[in-house]
Structure 1
Amino acid sequence: MADGLPPMEMDFGANGAPIVIVEQAEVGDVAGLLTAAPALMEPKWVFALAQMSNHLAQGESYELIVDVAAFKADYMAAYEAEDPDEDVAPGAIRLHNFGIPDFDAMQPPRMEGNTLVFFAENIFMGIPYRAVMQPGGQPVYEPVAMVQ
Structure 2
Amino acid sequence: MTDTLPYVGFSYDDDNRLCASVGPDEYHSVAELVAAAPFVAEPAHILLLAKALNHFDQGMSYGVIEEIAPYKEDFLKRYAEEEELEWDQFNLRAGDFELPDFEQMAPPSIKDGEITFFVNHRGLDAPYIVTGPADGSGKLDYSPL
2:105 corresponds to: 106
8 Å CA contact retained: 1:19, 1:56: yes
Q: Which runs of 5+ in 2 are unaligned?
A: none
8 Å CA contact retained: 1:65, 1:120: yes
The structure with higher relative contact order (CA 8 Å, sep 6+) is: 1
8 Å CA contact retained: 1:4, 1:39: no
Q: Secondary structure at the match of 1:35?
A: helix
8 Å CA contact retained: 2:53, 2:136: no
2:129 is aligned with what amino acid?
R
Distance 1:108 1:31, change over 3 A: same
After superposition, where does 1:83-122 map in structure 2 within 5 Å? Answer: 83=83, 86-90=86-90, 92-122=91-121
Separation (CA, whole Å) in 2 of partners of 1:8 and 1:71: 23
Separation (CA, whole Å) in 1 of partners of 2:94 and 2:140: 24
After superposition, where does 1:1-148 map in structure 2 within 5 Å? Answer: 8-83=8-83, 86-90=86-90, 92-134=91-133, 135-137=135-137, 138-144=139-145
Q: Secondary structure at the match of 1:82?
A: helix
8 Å CA contact retained: 2:121, 2:127: yes
Report the Cα offset of residue 3 of structure 1: 5.3
8 Å CA contact retained: 1:119, 1:129: yes
Report the Cα offset of residue 23 of structure 1: 4.4
Separation (CA, whole Å) in 2 of partners of 1:40 and 1:140: 21
Report the Cα offset of residue 85 of structure 1: 6.8
Give me the TM-score of the superposition, normalised by structure 2: 0.83
2:93 is aligned with what amino acid?
R
Aligned residues: 142
Separation (CA, whole Å) in 2 of partners of 1:79 and 1:102: 14
8 Å CA contact retained: 2:109, 2:115: yes
Separation (CA, whole Å) in 2 of partners of 1:80 and 1:20: 37
Give % identity: 30
Distance 1:15 1:120, change over 3 A: same
Distance 1:127 1:116, change over 3 A: same
